[in-house]
Amino acid sequence: MTNHWVDIKNTDLVLIMGGNAAEAHPCGFKWVTEAKAHRKARLIVVDPRFTRSAAVADYYAPIRAGSDIAFLGGLINYLLSNDKIHHQYVRDYTDMSYLVKDEFTFTDGIFSGYDPDKRKYDKATWGYQMGEDGYVKTDPSLQDPRCVYQLLKAHYARYTPELVERICGTPQDAFLKVAGMIAETAAPDRTMTVMYALGWTQHSQGSQMIRTGAMVQLLLGNIGVAGGGMNALRGHSNIQGLTDLGLLSNLLPGYMTLPGEAEKDFQAYLTKRSPKPLRPGQLSYWQNYPKFFVSTMKAWYGDAATPENNWCYDWLPKLDKTHDILQVFEDMNNGKMNGYFCQGFNPLASAPCKIKLSGALAKLKYLVVIDPLATETSEFWQNHGEFNDVDPTQIQTEVFRLPSSCFAEEDGSLVNSTRWLQWHWKGAEPPGEALNDQEIIAGIFLKLKAMYKKDGGAFPDPVLNLTWKHKQPTHPAPEELAKEFSGRALKDVTDPKDPAKVLVKAGEQLNGFAELRDDGSTACGCWIFAGAWSEKGNLMARRDNADPYGIGQNLNWSYAWPANRRVLYNRASCDADGAPFDPSRKLVGWDAAAGKWTGSDIPDFKADSAPADGMGPFIMNPEGVARFFARDMMAEGPFPEHYEPMESPLANNPMHPDNPLARANPAARVFKGDWESFGSPAEFPYVATTYRLTEHFHTWSKHVRLNAIVQPEQFVEIGEELAAAKGITAGDHVRVRSKRGFIVAVAVVTKRLKTLTIDGRSVHTVGIPIHWGFKGVARNGYITNTLTPFVGDANTQTPEFKAFLVDIEKLPTRLQAKA
Amino acid sequence: MQVTRRTFLKVCATGVGTSSLTLLGFAPDTALAEMRSFKLARATETRNTCPYCSVGCGILMYGLGAGAKNVQGRIFHIEGDPDHPVNRGTLCPKGAGLLDFIHSDTRLTQPEYRAPGSREWQPIAWDDAFTRIAALMKADRDANFEAVNQDGSTVNRWNSTGFLAASASSNETGYLTHKVVRSLGMLAFDNQARV
């Protein structure tokens, strides 16, 4: 989230789209209720289902699953053509005046540089026109046909209310009602917050859905202001933290990236990630990348990381490709993987296309599952009847199941959706012989290290030199690890302006990332967490809930990254002169007398840069401003375009009916053999979408008695029209089939799912909760991801769980389920 | 000292993470018709964070038996933390069931091993499990580690074993896991943020 949960109370309008906060994030949703009750804020919900968020909305608009870019593109067109934009904001804080290369084109759904055989773009033309001074050329009058404003306007002019209705099934009057309400927040003293979740991420074009939402917010001037922002409601308690710490194939801590295998030269690696400003006077904060990188390597490898060996640059594995979970299961299925660890992750239930996953796991030599609960993945080899019909004698995988502690049995910190690092304390011992995760990792690693020390082997250096300074090596303490990622000085750190002045003495914890150095004098495992544990102590454990400014900032509760800042981009809440657009919700402002930015938040800016200096508020971007034109940073194009889901009820993309290349996302990766696993609308006529229930959490809470009591049995939701057409009544058992398998569940017939008219024909939606499996105390059920397609977003490879095709039929009796 | 339940909780909420009420010398005054003391009065209150979604609600866990040697602590009650600025004491239907998570019938309590082709789990000692897993890893890594690629570039990667990390584990676990995984040269590395 750019903003935070309590800040939602400061808004005038809430748009919930691609999420269902009332059911999936109930205690956060209370702040929507607060805004409605005390600020007369209104709530709009756009969703394929009439959810419980919709039930308390001021206005609900239906939409077909997977068509959100058409809807949001329609909003962009509405705002531009009705001149409902925040002019100062758009002019001063975005790239609208930047000139784009003449060679950049967009023809019938495809941008310049496309290679249909590789399903990839050569992005050479997706860039700016550069001047001789080394900066981007601009046209402040916005009249140049190659400026971002003119290109954007032309691109979205096609997204008319008629087109929105045709693609999304949202009636024009409903769309226009929503657009009108949203447009009101273009006023400087009005704002809107966007709350989204996996309903936007889990699509083959999910990243672009989110971008389109952000573009709407930028047009309205709603980014960086109290009560505004793009607010990703993340799904797990520490999914933010693990992302921040870089536990993804291609990442290093703090959003640094691993080198590709072509990046032999260390300096070139650093230079590429430390972009020079693209406009005069801009900060381009990533220029500090070398400080973050060297400090991480010093944290990991200590004295072994030296200037002579480029701080162990060559000890890092170099990427041949991104080994995301889909790629890994593809490789596993092709016999290229021997071992796999699942630490608190249940991929058999959480990744798409169960039959492929199950076959892949059976090809492993060894599988290690570390979990507090008995997961389906740990028993993929065991026969569980209709729910997991396998022959154990044919599966040669060695499996280890290691019991770990749960939340209540450990100390440590979690990062919530709003970037707060909150410390928690252990209340009991884990059951039986269970150990905490740190002890388990240490147990395996120390054995391995001893074997490499004794016997040698492939490249032992990183294993033998990995920092392991724990009072009890087999029990790395959370406090020790937290201090390590927060960072400390290895030598005295001095003030660059006055080398005689020591800022931090050798051995002391750092106060923040501004103290990091690229000469090896600081060690910091995760630069964005720097300062979370300083010489003042463990700031993550702070519990002062005071709100001195009355807008819910709570600066002394826990520690928010970066630098305890609560609202990102908050400099953009002020005009070019540094005065808040809306003084009643002031976050920061320029204090001319003091010569610095002050306010109710930590300024997201160079604290002493006067407005007259002209520095833009988006300091992480080399432009200094926000981008409508994404340059070469997205896989499928600089401007979001509507493409159909990989499995769509339509034969073509109504935007480009005559171009099959532009039917679904042209840059989405599809593995060989998976094209055949996608279903056609002739065979599978209904749109399916998966989701959570408020009583359950993924496949954990079916292990929890109270939740198993309130939602005991697997069900699917269908609308009344589809039920009538298929002769299904509430309570019947139904079989839901996709090209990849079937599930059996109880039918819930509901008014919450309406039949939509898409491109002239009726389209029904089947809603499928995700929570069942064959382990736990709830009634056993089928794994929902039996049905889902093995394809992901072109940028993130997040699977397309939210829009695919199924058929549904009534079963005369439960016994016929396997027929 | 007159202590209502609310001030009682506030007393607990001061200072350190965990505090035993009886140690601090506070207890509600004895009621005249009291049959037995409240369990809560003997409880240790511990602050924690709900492990489900990303709202990060504060919770208070009440347990008995902590501290003494050979006495196994047991959490018997969980409720929302009223001091927490986001949830302000409330919990959703998931958070309200957390006690049953801790005491779930399907909690794992001992390391187990399943041999190739077997239909059954069998118990294994921790040390044996660690040794066997490390040996499997080393054999695979030594056989398949790629020091240079076909172009002669140093790549130092191990692509035949992968690791999925847990996005409900702590930052401290995540940090340690990342360090270990990369030191081994693994690239097949993800957490639930991917799905």
Find the CATH number of the domain harbouring A32.
3.40.228.10
**Which residues 81-110 in chain B show a CB within 8 A of chain A?**
83-88, 90-102, 104-110
Window B:118-157, CB contacts with A under 8 Å: 118-119, 121, 124, 126-127, 129-138, 140-142, 144-145, 147, 149, 151, 153-157
Tell me whether residues B112 and A543 touch, CB distance under 8 A: no
- A366·B133 Cβ contact <8 A: yes
Which two tokens mark B150? 């076909």
Confidence of residue A393 (pLDDT cuts 50, 70, 90): very high
The candidate with the shortest Cα–Cα distance to A550, out of A584, A582, A509, is A584
User: Quick one: pLDDT at residue B18?
Assistant: 46
- DSSP H helix total and E strand total for chain A: 21, 33
Task: Assess whether A727 and A591 both reside in one domain.
Answer: no
Given a cut of 90, whether residue A561 has pLDDT beyond it is yes
CB pairs under 8 A between A and B: 495
| C-alpha radius of gyration, chain A, whole number | 27
**Residue A36 within a domain:** yes
Count Cα atoms within 13 angstroms, Cβ side, for A672: 5
Q: Tell me the whole-structure pTM to 2 decimals.
A: 0.95
Find the closest chain A residue to B143 by CA distance.
A458
- Contacts of residue A457 in chain B, CB cutoff 8 Å? 138, 141-142
Optimal mutation site among B12, B14, B83, B86, interface A, most CBs of chain A within 10 A: B86
- Closest CA of chain B from A80, distance in Å: 34
pLDDT tens digits, B132-166:
999 999 999 999 999 999 999 999 999 999 999 99
Query: Do A20 and A691 touch, CB atoms closer than 8 A?
Result: yes
B151: chain A residues, CB-CB within 8 Å = 261
Q: ipTM value, please give it.
A: 0.98
- What is the mean predicted confidence (pLDDT) over A53-82? 98
Q: pLDDT, tens digit, for every residue of A437-476?
A: 999 999 999 999 999 999 999 999 999 999 999 999 999 9
Averaged pLDDT for residues A148-164: 98
- A394 is written with which tokens? 């044919």
pLDDT of residue B17: 44
Decide which of A200, A235, A270 is a domain's last residue: A235
User: Which of the residues B14, B48, B54, B98 would you substitute to probe the A interface, choosing the one with the greatest number of A C-beta atoms within 10 Å?
Assistant: B54
Å from B22 to nearest chain A CA? 17
Query: C-alpha angle with apex A753: A752 to A758, nearest 5 degrees?
Result: 145
- Please enumerate, as own/partner, the contacts of A539-546 that have beta carbons within 8 Å and a separation of 24 or more: A539/A564, A540/A413, A540/A421, A540/A422, A540/A423, A540/A482, A541/A423, A541/B17, A543/B13, A543/B47, A543/B83, A545/B83, A545/B84, A545/B85
Do A602 and A698 belong to one domain? Answer: no
Instruction: Decide if A458 is inside a domain.
Output: no
Residues A89 and A213 in one domain: yes
Taking the C-alpha atoms of residue A217 and residue A159, their distance in angstroms, rounded to an integer, is 17
What is the tens place of the pLDDT at every residue in A275-293? Answer: 999 999 999 999 999 999 9
* Phi-psi group of B156: left, alpha or beta (phi > 0 → left; psi -120 to 50 → alpha; rest → beta): left
Residue A680 sits in the same domain as residue A612: no
Closest by Cα among A375, A383, A381, A384 to A349: A375
Instruction: Look at residue B8 and tell me whether its pLDDT is greater than 70.
Output: no
Both ends of chain B: CA-CA distance in Å? 54
| Residue A705 near residue B107, CB atoms below 8 Å | no
How close B67 gets to chain A, by Cα (Å)? 10
Three-state SS letters, A314-381: HHCCCECCCCCHHHHHHHHHCCCCCEEEEECCCHHHHCCCHHHHHHHHCCCCEEEEEECECCCHHHCC
Residues 6 or more apart in contact with residue A590 via CB below 8 angstroms: A574, A577, A578, A579, A596, A597, A610, A611
- Average pLDDT over every residue of A689-703: 98
**Is the Cβ pair B105, A703 closer than 8 Å?**
yes
In angstroms, the CA B138 to CA A629 distance is 47
Q: Does B71 touch chain A (CB under 8 A)?
A: no
- Rg of chain B over Cα atoms, rounded to whole angstroms, equals 24
Q: What are the b/e assignments for A196-213, b being 16+ CB within 10 Å?
A: bbbbbbbbbbbbbbbbbb
B68 to chain A, any CB pair closer than 8 A? The answer is no
DSSP state of A799: B
Closest CA to B114 of A396, A141, A456: A396
How far apart are the C-alpha atoms of A140 and B143, rounded to whole Å?
A: 60
> Are both A54 and A115 inside the same structural domain?
yes
Partners of residue A688 on adjacent β-strands: A766, A804
Q: What is the DSSP letter of A90?
A: H
Domain that holds residue A601: 577-617
DSSP state of A18: S
The answer as to whether A37 is a domain residue is: yes
Residue B6 has pLDDT above 90, yes or no: no
Q: At what angle do helices A68-81 and A206-219 cross, to 10 degrees?
A: 20
Which contacts (CB < 8 Å, 24+ apart) does range B68-75 have?
B72/A428, B72/A429, B73/A427, B73/A428, B73/A429, B73/B44, B74/A428, B75/A408, B75/A427, B75/A428, B75/B99, B75/B102, B75/B103
As a whole number of angstroms, the distance between CA A250 and CA A248 comes to: 6
Residue A732: CB partners within 8 Å, gap ≥ 6? Answer: A746, A747, A810, A811
The separation between CA A512 and the C-alpha centre of its own chain, rounded to angstroms, equals: 25
- Which among B112, B137, B180 has CB closest to A441? B180
Examine the domain organization and report whether A112 and A221 are in the same domain. yes
Chain segment A708-737, per-residue pLDDT in tens: 999 999 999 999 999 999 999 999 999 999
Does one domain contain both A741 and A809? yes
DSSP code of residue B19 = E
Q: Which of residues 19-38 of B touch A (CB under 8 A)?
A: none
Residue with the two structure tokens 């840069």: A609
Chain B residues with beta carbon closer than 8 angstroms to that of A254: none
Domain boundary among A235, A268, A283: A235
Mean pLDDT for the stretch of residues B5-27: 46
Determine if residue A281 is left, alpha or beta; phi over 0 gives left, psi from -120 to 50 gives alpha, anything else beta: left
In sequence order, which residues have a C-beta less than 8 Å from that of residue A769 and are 6 or more positions away?
A690, A691, A692, A693, A696, A714, A715, A716, A784
Confidence of residue B113 (pLDDT cuts 50, 70, 90): very high
Residue of A nearest to B96 (CA): A706
* Residue in A237, A314, A418 closest to B52 by CB: A237
Q: B5-102, what's its fold? A: N-terminal domain of TfIIb (2.20.25)
Give residue A775's pLDDT band: very low, low, confident or very high (50, 70, 90): very high
Where does the pLDDT of residue B73 fall: very low under 50, low under 70, confident under 90, or very high at 90 and above? confident
Residue A30 and residue B87: Cβ atoms within 8 Å?
Answer: yes
Q: Looking at the partner chain, which of B159, B168, B185 has a beta carbon nearest the beta carbon of A344?
A: B168
User: Cβ contacts (< 8 Å) between B95 and chain A: which residues?
Assistant: 27
Residues A123 and A42 in one domain: yes
**pLDDT higher than threshold 70 for residue B7:** no
Query: Which residues in chain B are classed under CATH 2.20.25.90?
Result: 5-102
Confidence of residue B28 (pLDDT cuts 50, 70, 90): low
DSSP string, A288-315: GHHHHHHHHHHHHHGGG--TTTGGGGGG
Which of A175, A202, A235 represents a domain boundary (last residue)? A235
The DSSP 8-state label assigned to residue A180 in this structure reads: H
- Give the H/E segment covering residue A218: helix A206-219
Q: Average pLDDT, stretch A232-261?
A: 98
Instruction: Work out the pLDDT band at B68, boundaries 50, 70, 90.
Output: confident
Preceding peptide of B111 cis, ω within 30°: no
- Tens of pLDDT, residue by residue over A603-654, are 999 999 999 999 999 999 999 999 999 999 999 999 999 999 999 999 999 9
Please state the domain count of chain A.
3
User: Within this chain, do residues A597 and A733 fall inside the same structural domain, yes or no?
Assistant: no
Q: Is A673 left (phi over 0), alpha (psi -120 to 50) or beta?
A: left
Q: Are residues A605 and A722 in the same domain?
A: no
Whether A224 contacts A2, CB under 8 Å: yes
Residue B26 has a pLDDT of: 52
Asked if the Cβ–Cβ distance from A328 to B72 is below 8 Å, we say no
User: Which segments of A94-185 does DSSP mark as H helices, in order?
Assistant: 148-156, 161-168, 172-183
In 10 A of CB A91, how many CB atoms?
16
- The tokens of A652 are what? 């073509």
Distance CA A818, CA A387 (A): 10
> Which residue does chain B place closest to A801, by CA atoms?
B195
Name the minimum distance, in Å, from the CA of B68 to any CA of chain A: 12
**pLDDT at residue B9 is higher than 90:** no
Whether residue A557 is contained in a domain is answered as no
pLDDT band at B194 (very low <50, low <70, confident <90, very high): very high
- Mutation target for B interface from A244, A414, A415: give the one with most B CBs within 10 A: A414
Mean pLDDT of chain A: 97
Amino acid present at B169? S
Tell me how far apart the alpha carbons of residues A727 and A768 are, in angstroms, rounded to a whole number.
19
Q: Chain B partners of A459 at a C-beta cutoff of 8 Å?
A: 145, 147, 156, 185
d(CA A263, CA A240): 28
Strands A733-738 and A741-750: antiparallel
Same domain? A664 vs A594? no
For the segment A292-301, the average pLDDT, to the nearest whole number, is: 98
pLDDT of residue A813: 75
In this prediction, residue A348 carries a pLDDT of 98
Q: B39 falls in which pLDDT band (50, 70, 90)? A: confident
- Nearest by CB to B166, from A343, A395, A799: name it: A343
Hey, are the CB atoms on A324 and B118 less than 8 Å from each other? no
Task: List pLDDT tens digits, range A341-383.
Answer: 999 999 999 999 999 999 999 999 999 999 999 999 999 999 9
d(CA A658, CA A676): 22
Do A33 and A91 belong together in one domain?
yes
Which pLDDT does position B36 carry in this prediction? 74
- Closest by CA position to A370, among listed A401, A393, A395, A346: A401
Residue A141 lies in a domain: yes
Q: Is some CB atom of chain A closer than 8 A to the CB atom of B67?
A: no
pLDDT band for position B19 (50/70/90)?
very low
CATH of the domain at A681: 2.40.40.20
Tell me the pLDDT band of B33, cut-offs 50, 70 and 90.
low
Nearest chain A CA: its distance from B24 CA (Å): 18
- What percent of chain B has pLDDT above 90? 73
Residue of B nearest to A420 (CA): B56
Determine, yes or no, domain membership for A222: yes
Q: Give CA–CA dist A404/A369, Å, rounded.
A: 10
What is the reported pLDDT for B1?
Answer: 39
